[in-house]
Structure 1
Amino acid sequence: MNFPKLQIQTTKAQIGLNIQQPIQKIEQPKADLDLQQPKAKLTIETSKSKLTIDSFQAREDLEMKNTRSRTAEITQKAMQESLEGVARRAQEGNDLMRIENGGNPIVEHAKRWGQQTYTSLGIKFTPQAGSVKINFDPAKLDINVEPQKVINNTKINKPIHQYTPGSVDVEMLQKPSIKIDWII
C-alpha cells in the first residue's frame, strides 16, 4: 500500500549587506604659545661703613703730642719746678738766717748743689697696649626683590574633527520560498 507522502521544499533567504566603514580624522594643532616673564624689580641700598681710629693716647705715649697738650704739660712742669725752686730758696734762706744755731749751712748747701742725682732707668713700652682705640660700624645692606608675574597670552587651538558616518545597505539576494507537494 502506498501512502501519500508530503514533500516540502524550502529555499533560504539570503541577505546581502553593503557596509561603508565610518571615517574619522582628528587633528590637534599645537597651541600658540606666548609667555613673557618681565624682569624682577631689584633695589639695593647700602649705608657706608664707618671706621674710626683714635690714636691720640698712642701719639701722646710716643711724645708726638699736639701743641695744646705740649703747652699744658710744659706749663705744669714749669709751675712745679718754680714752686720747688721757691721752696728750696726759702729753706736755704732760713738756714742762713739761723746760722747762729750752729752748723755750717753754706757747706751743706754746696754739697747739695754739687751732687748729681741719679735716676733709675725705667723701661717703658710705648705706646701702651690698648692706647689705640678702634671702632667699626659695618655697612648696612638692604635688598628688596619684587618678582613680576608671568604674562601668559597662550592661545589653545581646538581640535579639528572630521567624521563621515558609515552606512549599511541591506539587499535581498534571494527570497525565501516554500513548496509543498503531495506524492501519491
Structure 2
Amino acid sequence: MNIPSLSIHSTMGKIQIQSTGPQLEVHQGQTQQTIEQPKAEMTIERTPSKLTIDQTQAWNNLNLKSAFVRISEAVDEGHQAVMEGIARRAEEGDDLLHIERGGNPIKAHAVQNAQQKGSYSTGSTPPFQAVKESYSPSEVEINWQTKKPEIAATSEPPSFQFQRGQVNISMAQYPSVDISI
C-alpha cells in the first residue's frame, strides 16, 4: 500500500546588509608666523677723568719763581721791613728819650744798624707736600633702550570634508516554500 506522502521544502529568506562607513577629513593649514626683533639702542656718555698737578711750590722752593710770586714776596718783605723800621725807630726813640739812664745809645744804635741782616731760604714746604695733585675719575653712563619683538601670526581655519555613510539592504536569498506530493 502506497500512502501518499507530502513533502514540504522551505528556504529561509536572507537579508544582505552592505554599509559604507562615514568619512571625515580634517585639514589644518600651516600657520604663518614672522618674528622681527628690532635692535636695541645703547648710548654711552662719558666724562673724561682729569688729573691736575700743581708744582708751583716745588719751583718756588728751588727759587725758580714766577714774576707774580716774586712781586708778591717783595710786597710782603717791604711791608715787613716798614713795620720793622717803625718798631726800630720807636725803640731807638725810647732809648734817646731816656738818655739819662746812662750808656751811649747813639753808638749802640749805630753798631746794631751796621750789622747786615739777610738769609737765603730754600723754602719751608717739605718736598712731599711741594707738588699738589688732584684727580677726578671719569664717569660712564650707559643707557639701554630695548625694543619689543614684532610677532605676526596668521592662521588658516581648519577645513572639514564629510562624506556620509551608506547602508544598502537587499535580499541575498528570497524565502520559498516547495510542497510536493
- Structure 2 CA distance for partners of 1:85 and 1:18, relative to 1, 3 Å: same
User: Which residue in the other structure is 1:31 paired with?
Assistant: 31
Answer yes or no: is the 8 Å Cα contact 1:40–1:145 preserved in 2: no
Task: Compute the RMSD of aligned alpha carbons.
Answer: 4.9
Q: Which residue of 1 aligns with 2:56?
A: 59
User: What is the CA distance between 1:38 and its match in structure 2?
Assistant: 5.2
Q: Distance in 2 between matches of 1:115 and 1:76?
A: 19
Where do residues 40-119 of structure 1 align in structure 2 (5 Å cutoff)?
42=41, 44=43, 46=45, 48=47, 51=50, 53=52, 55=54, 59-60=56-57, 63=60, 66-85=66-85, 87-88=87-88, 91=91, 102-105=102-105, 106=107, 109-110=110-111, 113=114
TM-superposed CA distance for 1:77, in Å, is 0.9
Q: 1:87 to 1:21 in 2, by over 3 A?
A: closer
Percent identity, aligned pairs only, is 23
Residues 1:18 and 2:15 aligned together: no
Q: What's 1:174 paired with?
A: 173
1:3 maps to: none
User: Unaligned stretches of 5+ in structure 1?
Assistant: 1-6
Change (3 A) 1:12 1:62: same
Give the distance between the partners of 1:167 and 1:178, measured in 2 at CA: 33
Do the aligned partners of residues 66 and 148 (structure 1) sit closer, same or farther apart at CA in structure 2, a change above 3 Å counting? farther
SS in 1 for 2:32: coil
Q: TM-score, normalised by structure 2?
A: 0.57
Instruction: Give structure 2 stretches of 5+ with no counterpart.
Output: 1-6
Instruction: Report the number of matched residues.
Output: 173
**Within 2, Cα distance between the matches of 1:107 and 1:168?**
157
Separation in structure 2 between the aligned mates of residue 124 and residue 60 of structure 1, nearest angstrom: 7
| Whole-angstrom CA distance in 2 between matches of 1:144 and 1:122 | 55
